[in-house]
Structure 1
Amino acid sequence: MTPKQAQRLIKKIADIKRALAAEKRKFGGYDDSRGLRYLPTRYYIQLADYKGGLTYTHWFARTFPDDIGFPDFLFEWAVLLYKGGKLDLAKTKIWQTFCVNTYVLDKFFGHPIQPLLKYEWSNLAQAGFTEYFTYSHQQTDLLDFSQWLEEFMASELFMSRKARYLTLYQGLLVEEDLEIRDYLRQEAHQLENQSKF
């Protein structure tokens, strides 16, 4: 990246922060229907400014505590955590990424996307997600992250949680008993909120 390209990214981040601050002044809160708040993580990764990215995600978590986020944003957050040496938090963020969209990690590793029959609000594989998610395990700046992620995803705990999570959501597709459906949803929600790996 040239110094001029880096300056453009720094300006984009500053412009986004300025726009969000203007919203807060104008509305007394954030009305970010354009989704500007999700963009800086991408720019921080491109700049290799992981400390700045972690500062931004800390602000994001405080400012939007109930915001689930989009799969690419959560993935970028995990990259920033990993690059910042916060491996346990990176594992949690990878799990959140998987729960929001189970195709993201396959796309990252270049595995074929095989649509799964599951009850998933963010089933973006058929809605163009695979086109706009541009990260790859072959990117030079992500090689260390890729190796770490591959090892983490091969861990017994991740594999067992993943299998159970998919089983629960596949069960929701066919189960008609309301009491059982409620149980399946509750267990899936508990799995989604697991933060210890």
Structure 2
Amino acid sequence: MTPKQEERLKNKIKKIKKDLQADKKHWGGFYHDGRGLRYLPPELYLKLGDFTGALRYFNWFTKNFPEDIGYPIFLFEWTITLFKTKRIEQAEKKAIQTFMSNTYIFDKFLQKESLQFNKSESSNWQLEELIEYFHYTKNQDYLIDFGEWLERFTTSKKFYDFANRFIELRQKLENEPVGNTRTQLIDKENELIKKYTN
């Protein structure tokens, strides 16, 4: 990347931050961000190789959007950032959150054939079509070490135990009508998520 390209990316980040501040001012001290600008900076920080800057941004995001769980590509970028800043335990938890938000994303990154499951996908973010907008691969120079780590993690017993149980519950939820059984399945899923991400 040339210095001019770096400068352009840095200016984009500055502009997004400025627009977000204007949004907050417009809404009387609260962020509305109907355009989703808050999701854009991580990709720019990663392109710059500024993982510390990305981490600061995610900390800011957590503080200012505490109810926002993000979306799969954003969570994936967060996982990269945690790994690159040597926060491995947190990276594992964020990887699990990423997988929950879209079960196809890791296979796409690791260039494996996507496993197909007939399971409940309760939002558009969980659909396979999302990965058409996903442009990270394990072969990108700056992601080779992350790719090796993710390959190890997603083949670990810890991840397998979580993923198999999560998919099992999602499959049961697929055709379960509203009622006690569905509520119990959702409670079990919430317990599983809490166990692996808290």
What is the TM-score of this pair, normalised by structure 2? 0.94
Where do 1:27-106 residues align within 5 Å? 27-28=27-28, 29-106=30-107
- CA distance in 1: counterparts of 2:45 and 2:54, whole angstroms: 5
User: Is residue 9 from structure 1 mapped to residue 12 from structure 2 by the alignment?
Assistant: no
Unaligned regions of 5+ residues in structure 2, if any? Answer: none
Taking the aligned partners of 1:153 and 1:67, their CA distance within structure 2 comes to 25
C-alpha RMSD of matched pairs (Å): 1.5
The sequence identity of aligned pairs, in percent, is 42
Large movers: runs of 4+ above 4 Å: none
Matched residue count: 195
How far apart are 1:196 and its partner, in Å? 5.3
- Rounded to whole Å, the distance in 2 between the matches of 1:61 and 1:195 is 19
Counterpart code for 1:173: E
CA distance in 1, matches of 2:193, 2:102: 12
- After superposition, the Cα gap between the structure-2 partners of 1:17 and 1:177, relative to the gap in structure 1 and judged at 3 Å, is closer
Name the counterpart of 1:107: 108
For 1:196 and 1:66, how far apart are their aligned partners in 2?
16
Unaligned runs of 5+ in 1: none
Distance 2:140 2:39 in 1: 21
1:18 aligns with: 18
1:171 aligns with 2:185: no
Q: C-alpha separation between the residues in 1 aligned to 2:56 and 2:195? A: 24
- The question of 1:152 aligning with 2:138 is answered no
Letter in structure 1 aligned against 2:138:
H
